[in-house]
Structure 1
Amino acid sequence: MEAPAAYPELTVRENLEVVARLRRMPGHVGDVVDVIDRLALTPYADRRARTLSMGNPQRLTLAKALIGRPDLLILDEPVNGLDPDQVCEIISSHRRLSGFSRRSQE
């Protein structure tokens, strides 16, 4: 089973900030805060990625994909390896995010 990619010693917030910097996003702090909020990662924002459990590593991976508000996001088995409760949680997150695109923010 593949594990979601993250820097294990960095916090959720730091992982997202690294992605934003690598994508050369000026003023990325607002985007990081927004994606943390939209994916219900606020209680985990200052936790190291290696300490995340349940569906949170999957949510962090999705949050990293959403930094920069892509027009299109293709997910390959986003619920692989999750238990039924976690699957429901991830599906709910995806439904909430259906309007989280560059076009919906204009």
Structure 2
Amino acid sequence: MNVTRRTWVSAGIVSVILAGGISVAAAASAGGIGRSHDPVTPAVEGDQPAPKNTSASQSPPEAPPSPGTTPPAEDYVVSKDVNPDPQQVGRYWTEQRLEDADPLPMPAVEGNVNVTE
């Protein structure tokens, strides 16, 4: 193998990227990235972030219910079979139906679009 300047430059770039990735991973695990203690953006559109607890006179947050008081899963888990028979889908989409199917409309931007590069 002929070691050239390009090889050394590529090795240097790879090592810098690798060292950066390792340092980001170490900082994330030490700093708790991924554990959101102070929500900034709502999880669902339309939700508002929880207000900060600024006064000590407010009541403390409620403790989670004990395992004995949790309702059974059937009361709060909603489930249904979305597609119980995948072969039925293959039987439905015949060659004629595929040819007659209309494609979904392409999204279009309405109004004045000002794009500058």
Q: TM-score range by the shorter chain?
A: under 0.3
Instruction: Look at both structures and tell me which one has the larger radius of gyration over its CA atoms.
Output: 2
The one of the two structures with greater contact order (alpha-carbon pairs below 8 A, sep at least 6) is 1
Q: How high is the TM-score relative to the length of structure 1? A: 0.18
